[in-house]
Amino acid sequence: MEFGWAQWVALGVTGLRLLELVYARHNLARLIARGGVEHGARHYPLFVLLHGSWLLALFFLVQDNVQPSLPLLALFAALQVARAWIIASLGPYWTTRIVTLPDAPLVRRGPYRFLRHPNYLLVAVEIPLLPLAFGAWDIALVFGLANLALLAYRIRVEEAVLAERRDL
């Protein structure tokens, strides 16, 4: 198999996501050690499956000779900068899971000043955007809709957890 733009981009995004998972696991361990409680753990494997399958679909289903839309790839790259801002804003509280410290105040800096769930908005855009950059509207549609369904459930779980802490 020859590697084209889609394959290299999928590998690059996979590398970034693996680094994020390492950071998330580090934060998770520290939060749990401080008395943090995980919520909604049963649905977490579905996110791993969805995101892994999305990257595999991009890698294997987009032909290696497809040239990307450079404006859409640039927008995706800009979203990665926004992702870094989100992660930095949460700092040691950022994980890929729903973990709460009962007495910790909610983070209200960075993009959290403006939105309750900026990471979920970002992911809802980037999941369909990257395949669309390669003309793969079918991958964009399938994974974009599946992600929205999972996010709708996850946000309900997270909002129920955070409702107990809004006034801290």
Taking only the tens place, the pLDDT of each residue in 33-53 is 999 999 999 999 999 999 999
Quick one: the chain helix, strand, coil %, rounded to 5?
70, 5, 25
Average pLDDT of span 8-32: 98
Q: What is the pLDDT of residues 65-89, one digit of tens each?
A: 999 999 999 999 999 999 999 999 9
Judged against a pLDDT cut of 90, whether residue 151 lies above it is answered with yes
Model-wide pTM > 0.85: yes
Distance CA 87, CA 94 (A): 6
Is 43:157 a contact under the CB 8 Å cutoff?
A: yes
3-state secondary structure of 34: coil
